[in-house]
Structure 1
């Protein structure tokens, strides 16, 4: 019998989630304590929102955003990319993995999507649809 080891497309495995969270915490701590030897990066306040790992845990995609828009997103990602080797070394020293994952930095657009969702819910047409009773609600009132 063959043992299917790869994910069946149902999302990340528990191990991927656990390693991603450990990488996120480690990077957050390193950036918060300004342990990197780059004064430009140490001046930036960067939040690490999420880390997703590949199936083999060799690539970690790190979603980052400058806090309160203190610096442009492109500048923050460029500074992180410049210091990728040092950050990877710091992560590797904290984790007990066979391979240190390659770090790839991407903009975290979670807050932008949240703002767009709030804007959509504030739309009067959406409010009207939310407030309108559905057929299921009307059926429940007759009982």
Structure 2
């Protein structure tokens, strides 16, 4: 039998651990999705989808406002660096938002802290790239 994170207490413990790593002082009793600003500047969401825990970060919003989208060059640049990325990009058309995400469900406790740190570094890098390409917009998830 393959172990899964299906019990409510395991889910709660995992979420509490992730939120502590992200700097939340009292994460007990919080339920997903959890939206927060990490380090005073990085919009991050922790969500559970079908027994999978996902860490998401907003890179760019209001993308459709650009006549010539530098988004393509950002994604081309990202694909050339694919081996270094901890997460994956997705564009949510309905929300007009580019997101970096990472499935963290399968990580052991000792792997979480370095992976989350790496994810935040990648998120900060891509937000800087998006800002330099002229993207502005919401600082939080819609």
| Same fold by TM-score greater than 0.5 | no
In terms of Rg, which structure is larger? 1
With normalisation by structure 1, the TM-score equals 0.28
Greater relative CO, 1 or 2 (CA 8 Å, sep 6+): 2
Q: Which has the larger share of helix?
A: 1
Q: Which has the larger share of strand?
A: 2
